[in-house]
Amino acid sequence: MAKNKPEGYLSGRESRRISKENRKITSELEKKRKRKNVPESEYLTKMHDPNNAVEFDNLHTYFFTDAGTVKSVDGVTFDVPIGKTVGVVGESGCGKSVTSLSLMQLLQRPQGQVVEGEIRLNLGDKAVNVAKMPDKELQHLRGNFMSMIFQEPMTSLNPVFRIGDQVDEVISLHDGEGKSEAEVKARTIEMLELVGIANSEGVYKMYPHELSGGMRQRVMIAMALACNPRIIIADEPTTALDVTIQAQVLDLLRGLKDKINSSIMFITHDLGVIAEMADYVVVMYAGRIVEKGTAEDIFYHPAHPYTIGLMASKPVVGKQVDKLYSIPGKVPNPINMPNYCYFKDRCEMCVKQCNGVYPCEISLSKTHKVSCYRYADEAGRREWEKSTEFIPDSEKGKGGNA
Ligand SMILES: Nc1ncnc2c1ncn2[C@@H]1O[C@H](COP(=O)(O)OP(=O)(O)OP(=O)(O)O)[C@@H](O)[C@H]1O
Ligand SMILES: [Mg+2]
């Protein structure tokens, strides 16, 4: 290739070669997916812990694009326990939505494919691996067992149908067996009222463009919760809302979760929302999990330099600063990931080992895990423990506040 071509430049020939390779890979994966009469044994699995509603296990979701393979999710492992809220945070483009779309199996196919790993779903009497489940079977789970509040209400609602018809459709499709038209409508009105829409009969007959952003978001929530799902994926459900409406929506979600005892996977880049909602927190960076733990672990004892940077960049009431901290540099190109720690080029706390391969996961406590070389040796860990007033597992519950 000529020397003065910009980074990422592809010649027509290279591009054609990539497309051809992609087609080969994706058509093989699609052929497998589209088989008829797939035996149940192929996708039945066992939960590693029966108290979990979902277990992501080494999930790899790639997009095979003409410019190359985008490794959007590259080896993600975390659990969503029953009745708990797990917050997923991370920079824009780090793979939060793709992780949740992999669980719902709503990836843009054929480019988007789960190429490796399991997503185990606890159905109560059995467990299934969603990544291998045929579409027909998944259709019975989507909407009524697991449901998603999408990131953008305006693009997720159909502009040419009335609100009532769209919510009715969800109910009659997933929960409508034996329900008359009037019963379905009554449930829709009930849901619209539950999400705090005052003029529910009026809104029932409106089109999405006639509603404000906050109301559209509420309709999305009503649709997602209409069939009492056990797993709710909320993908930035409050980003388009002002803070008062945001607080109401969060209250609503919390209330509904307790009423149905569902689990919530809450995706956002708003740390304040996470602090309010989540029991556990997963921090993602460039398609991988860099740190995970309980909300207390992450907020009071952040360990990964990226999490520490995130915490430093949020405003604190009563603390005066001239300028808020911002993490320097930018995320690496997802098509050409380096083979060392993805955060290294932006990290201000590097140690000698950081020149090595991507760091593996290190346990700081029973719940707290981090992928960073700073904690690979005793000295680094001790220094961090001192700086964060960390309480070891063995000392927890001995009158402390852990
Ligand atoms: N259909 C697609 N084709 C190609 N690449 C995609 C596609 N969808 C997502 N990606 C890539 O996958 C990566 C992760 O995207 P994702 O939407 O999960 O980000 P995110 O963490 O949800 O970001 P945000 O906070 O902005 O919503 C990005 O690099 C994105 O460019
Ligand atoms: Mg997203």
CB of 208 closer than 6 A to ligand 1?
A: no
Token pair, residue 53, equals 């509603």
Q: Are 232 and 257 a contacting pair, CB within 8 Å?
A: yes
CB of 111 closer than 6 A to ligand 1?
A: yes
Residues of the chain with pLDDT under 50: 1, 399-402
pTM of the model: 0.87
Q: How many CB atoms lie within 10 A of CB 191?
A: 23
What sign has the CA pseudo-torsion 57, 276, 227, 51? positive
Rounded Cα distance, 5 and 140, in Å: 50
Ligand 1 pocket: which of 26, 56, 70 to mutate (most atoms <8 Å of CB)?
70
Nearest of 141, 144, 143, 146 to residue 82 by alpha carbon: 146
How confident is the model at residue 402, as a pLDDT?
Answer: 36
CB of 98 closer than 6 A to ligand 1?
A: yes
How confident is the model at residue 46, as a pLDDT?
Answer: 93
How confident is the model at residue 390, as a pLDDT?
Answer: 63
**Order of strands, sheet of 68-81, starting from the edge strand that comes earlier in the sequence:** 44-45, 127-129, 112-122, 52-65, 68-81
How confident is the model at residue 392, as a pLDDT?
Answer: 60
Ligand nearest to the CA of 284: 1
How confident is the model at residue 68, as a pLDDT?
Answer: 85
Token pair, residue 122, equals 């606890």
How confident is the model at residue 400, as a pLDDT?
Answer: 41
Distance of CA 235 to the CA centre of its chain: 7
- What's the CA-to-centroid distance between 243 and ligand 1, angstroms? 26
Rounded Cα distance, 81 and 180, in Å: 36
Token pair, residue 220, equals 């999305």
Rounded Cα distance, 393 and 342, in Å: 29
CB of 295 closer than 6 A to ligand 1?
A: no
Ligand nearest to the CA of 90: 1
Nearest-CA residue for atom 28 of ligand 1: 93
- What's the CA-to-centroid distance between 94 and ligand 1, angstroms? 7
Token pair, residue 390, equals 């960390």
How confident is the model at residue 189, as a pLDDT?
Answer: 92
Rounded Cα distance, 361 and 48, in Å: 19
Secondary structure class of 79 (helix, strand, coil):
strand
Work out which ligand 1 atom sits closest to the CA atom of 284: 21
Nearest-CA residue for atom 29 of ligand 1: 93
Nearest-CA residue for atom 22 of ligand 1: 97
Nearest of 87, 82, 363 to residue 235 by alpha carbon: 87
Secondary structure class of 85 (helix, strand, coil):
strand
- What's the CA-to-centroid distance between 335 and ligand 2, angstroms? 18
| Backbone dihedral angles phi then psi of residue 44, each to the nearest 5 degrees | -75, 145
